Structure 1
């Protein structure tokens, strides 16, 4: 299906999300913080169908990573996750860069559904652009 990158500093959340999305048929790479996520994005030359990233992380947060990734690879779809209301407000400033913000905690069905919707929205945008 799709090639995804999960960027999450909490190992248990990262592992559960990756497994849920792999079981849904996606190829999933993982990174433990924004700096590692950005390195993965550059290594793949922006070749991910979707980036799913936590906002609040050490070293480089998800918002800074999203901004850097968007500068290097405009149009790269990014879905952010957070359990903090103030971080969600910060993400609202990035409407041109991110697709949506997933509220934590989430169920495995929630993350699979949100990823599916984000991928479907990107496919619709790509088809509209090709027409």
Structure 2
């Protein structure tokens, strides 16, 4: 069982992902945007195993969140989500910080498998 923080501005997607991850016994906390997710990470001193964040969000997007969170919480595994091809390209340069980018739409099985894979791989370590 892992502690997972989801940062997603669309409530329906956030609830879907939460349910998917809770099926596997994970403890899931939610944030509506990157700024709220970073605040949660700081309050809880990075006590999460996985950060699953949408790229495109208001206030602070997922890429800015990953760039802020990775140096502060080096043991945090980061998995990005997006439904936009141009956003996936923006994430390409973050290979040293993130595990992968999950393309939306995804199925319940897809997101469960991607989260399990990311957790099994562990955090990225800068070379």
TM range (shorter): over 0.9
Runs (4+) of structure 1 moved beyond 2 Å?
A: none
* CA deviation after TM superposition for structure 1 residue 23, in Å: 1.4
The residue that corresponds to 1:128 in the other structure is none
Query: Could you list the per-position Cα deviations for residues 29-64 of structure 1 after superposition, in whole angstroms to 9, with x for gaps in the alignment?
Result: 000000001011111111110000000000100000
The residue that corresponds to 1:4 in the other structure is 4
The residue that corresponds to 1:109 in the other structure is 109
Contiguous gaps of at least 5 residues in structure 1: 126-131
TM-score (structure 2 length as normaliser) = 0.94
TM-score (structure 1 length as normaliser) = 0.91
- Match runs of 1:34-53 below 5 Å: 34-53=34-53
Structure number with greater Rg is 1
**2: distance between equivalents of 1:121 and 1:37?**
22
Contiguous gaps of at least 5 residues in structure 2: none
How many residue pairs were aligned?
125
CA contact (8 A) 2:49 2:75 kept: no
